[in-house]
Chains A and B, each alone.
Chain A
Amino acid sequence: MSAARSLTIGAAAALALELVAALGAGALGIVPVGADRTPGTLETALATRVLRAAVARAANAAATPRATADPAGGAEIYAAMCERCHGSAAKPSELGGAFYPPAPALATHGSRYDEREIAWIVAHGIRNTGMPAWRGLLSDDDIHDVAAFVKQFDGAR
């Protein structure tokens, strides 16, 4: 048996063992699922990387935002629909901070996403977080207005 083939078989066996261990841990109920803990460094790094790549790819394929988004209209929507979780400039959200992962404090930290990516996130939400898909409740114009408003937080940081 060649060294390369041995290495491949060994790697496949290790992966299979890890998968079985993960499934076993899940079946035994020993995977922590509570939201009242701080996400680990590795988990945060991996999830952030995956999320950023996925959002960038999806947003790139999405419709181009309106050139004339109305941040003032977006501010009204943000106050009614977003502030509860993402906070305001005056007050961070206790509720949003209790999510796992915590909801981004947009008003005080801004967003690393560009306006188009924010619009995609607002429209489609992020699974396994508290971020819902708003496209059923908000029009496309509403969503682009919110994205334009959120992006203004970057300048206020």
Chain B
Amino acid sequence: MNRRTYPRATLLVLLSLLAASPASPAAPAVHVVHLIARKFEYSPSEIVVKKGEAVVIEIASMDRKHGFSIPELGLRGDVKPGGAASLRFIAERAGIFHFHCDVFCGSGHEGMEGTLVVTEA
């Protein structure tokens, strides 16, 4: 074998092996949901994600301090007045989960709620 062509042959073999090998598993996509919180509603009031998805809920407050709580999933956070908060979780269970504001935000606070729907993948 020509000694000068040896490295080139090796490179070709390596490249062909790389081309033949299955693609490396891609990082799971993150489902980002943007939520607006204002007295006395969340917009949107329904979030739909798929089971198994990595979910990030980005919550922005348009007025005063609000909370976001899904007791069934042990998920909660505070959103400062005019600020934002980010909640990350994996949607491990399919089902309908209710969320609500758990920081008093005025008369009507008790009606500030919404629904997270986790569908089967």
A3, CB-defined interface residue at 8 Å? no
Could you say which residues of chain B place their CB within 8 Å of the CB of A73? 104
A137-B107 in contact (CB<8A): no
Give the contacting residue for A137; candidates B78, B106, B110; CB below 8 A.
Answer: B110
Write the nearest CB–CB distance from B36 to chain A, whole angstroms: 20
Answer whether A79 and B104 are a contact pair too, CB < 8 Å, given A136-B69, A136-B71.
no
Write the A44-65 contact mask toward B (1 if CB under 8 angstroms, else 0). Answer: 0000000000000000000000
Check if B67 is an interface residue, CB within 8 A of chain A: yes
- Counting chain B residues whose Cβ lies within 8 A of the other chain, the interface size class is 10 to 19
* Contact in complex: B106, A138 (CB < 8 Å): no
Judged by a CB distance under 8 angstroms, whether B102 is at the interface is yes
Is chain A's interface secondary structure helix, strand, loop, or mixed overall? helix
Give bound CA distance, A80 to B71, whole Å.
Answer: 23
Can you name the residue of chain B whose Cβ is closest to the Cβ of A141?
Answer: B103
Residue A76 interfacial (CB < 8 Å) = yes
Interface residue B109 (Cβ < 8 Å from any Cβ of A): yes
Residues of A within 8 A of B109 (CB): 80-81, 137
**CA–CA, A142 and B106, complex, Å:** 11
How far does the Cβ of A105 sit from chain B's closest Cβ, in whole Å? Answer: 21
- Minimum C-beta distance from B66 to chain A (A): 10
Query: B80-121 CB contact bits vs A (8 Å, 1 = yes)?
Result: 000000000000000000001011101111100000000000
Q: What are the interface flags for B38-76 relative to A under an 8 Å C-beta threshold, 1 for contact and 0 otherwise? A: 000000000000000000000000000001010100000
Please give, as numbers and ranges, the residues of chain A lying within 8 Å of B106 by CB-CB distance. 76, 80
C-alpha gap A119/B102 in the complex (Å)? 16
Cross-chain pairs A/B with CB under 8 angstroms, 30 sampled:
A73-B104, A76-B104, A76-B106, A77-B104, A79-B107, A80-B106, A80-B107, A80-B108, A80-B109, A81-B104, A81-B109, A81-B110, A136-B69, A136-B71, A136-B100, A136-B102, A137-B102, A137-B104, A137-B109, A137-B110, A138-B103, A138-B104, A139-B67, A139-B78, A139-B102, A139-B103, A139-B104, A141-B103, A142-B103, A142-B104
Query: Residues of A at under 8 Å CB distance from B?
Result: 73, 76-77, 79-81, 136-139, 141-142
Further pairs besides A73-B104, A81-B104, A137-B100: 20, Cβ < 8 Å:
A76-B104, A76-B106, A79-B107, A80-B104, A80-B106, A80-B107, A80-B109, A81-B110, A136-B69, A137-B104, A137-B110, A138-B102, A138-B103, A138-B104, A139-B67, A139-B78, A139-B102, A139-B103, A139-B104, A142-B104
